[in-house]
Amino acid sequence: MANELAVSSAEFQEKVLNSDLPVLIDFWAPWCGPCKAIGPSIEQIAAEYAGKAKVYKVDVDQEPDISSTYGVMSIPALFVFKGGKVVDKKVGALPKPQIAAMLDAAI
């Protein structure tokens, strides 16, 4: 499922900034242990919030332009976008309820 959640620079404007629904972005990398640890929670949230919010993953090594645009210095970094703007962001391996709460606040 992780590949289905991937978003590239070419798609970012359309899928994230122009989205009618709030969007959770997980900035991650395959070599990042904490990123792998929250991966299953991110995928569960993507399924649970279908129709209410969107969830995507940005590989910081594959998409450095997106990462630098939003000042991502440490990963995992979780950003919530609403109306094309960042409305919440947190860094670190958060428990699933905290990640869900970030989205809940934007819905």
| pLDDT, tens digit, 9 for 90 and up, residues 74-84 | 999 999 999 99
Q: What was the pLDDT predicted at 76?
A: 98
What residues act catalytically? Answer: 32, 35
Note the pLDDT tens digit of each residue in 37-57: 999 999 999 999 999 999 999
pLDDT tens-digit map of 57-73 = 999 999 999 999 999 99
Tokens coding 11: 């798609």
What gap in Å lies between CA 30 and CA 12, rounded to an integer? 20
The helix/strand/coil state of 79 is strand
Q: Which amino acid is at 36?
A: K
Q: Position of tokens 């997106």?
A: 66
- Quick check: 2 pLDDT over 70? no
End-to-end alpha-carbon separation of the chain, Å?
23
Measure the CA–CA gap between 57 and 60, rounded to whole angstroms.
Answer: 9
Q: Which domains does the chain have, with CATH numbers?
A: 2-106 (3.40.30.10)
Q: What is the rounded CA–CA span in Å between residue 84 and residue 107?
A: 14
pTM above 0.75, yes or no: yes
